[in-house]
Amino acid sequence: MIVELIGISAVIGAVPLVMAVMTYNRLVALDHRCETAFADIDVHLKHRQNLIPSLVETVRGFATHEHDILLGITNARAAALTAVAPDARLKAEKDLTQNINTLIGMAERYPELRASGHFTALRDELVDAENRITASRRFYNLAVGEYGATLRQFPGSLVARYRKLRPRMPFDLGIERVLIDEPVTIKF
């Protein structure tokens, strides 16, 4: 009888410990998923940044007097490449996206630039890069949401407090995607 009570007490005492370990392991796995998803975004952002020098040179060939726009996008790219802290990185990427939008919008004033095959290919590659960034960002934000929900649920909230785990910020450039897509032209 005493042995049975000790056995039952041990099982009852072990259940919270097992739950805590399982919850911690789930939080670690979700955190790792967030890391992996952000690395995917990072790859696509770097690809986009690598397209910018060719784009600037192409535009410079057709619109040499647009110096301020070209300088702005070059500086924004440099800031995005050197930003390390997440907040600084997000701000730099927002600025870069705005500058790309400005540069592409400026191309509307130069029909010979729009007609350039090289410019068109670069613009199409930028559209593709933006689409991949959007898809990767969506996956990252879903992973962040699942991680955050697990941190707030019981027993995740207790484990998170004990292990000092913090929620992650979603990745949002805060800009409506006006970018680069060809406008619909209606001709009669």
Quick: pLDDT tens for 9-20. 888 888 888 898
pLDDT, one tens digit per residue, over 88-137 is 888 898 899 888 888 888 887 888 888 888 888 998 999 899 899 999 99
How would residue 174 be classed by pLDDT, with cut points 50, 70 and 90?
Answer: low
The residue extents of the domains of the chain are 2-163
Separation in Å, CA 163 to CA 27, 147, 158, 159, 180 = 10, 14, 9, 6, 45
Q: Is 62 exposed, middle or buried (0-12, 13-18, 19+ CB in 10 A)?
A: middle
Query: 2-163: which CATH topology?
Result: de novo design (two linked rop proteins) (1.20.1440)
pLDDT at 151 over 90: yes
For residue range 21-41, list pLDDT tens digits in order: 999 999 999 999 999 999 999
pTM: 0.78
Three-state DSSP state, 126: helix
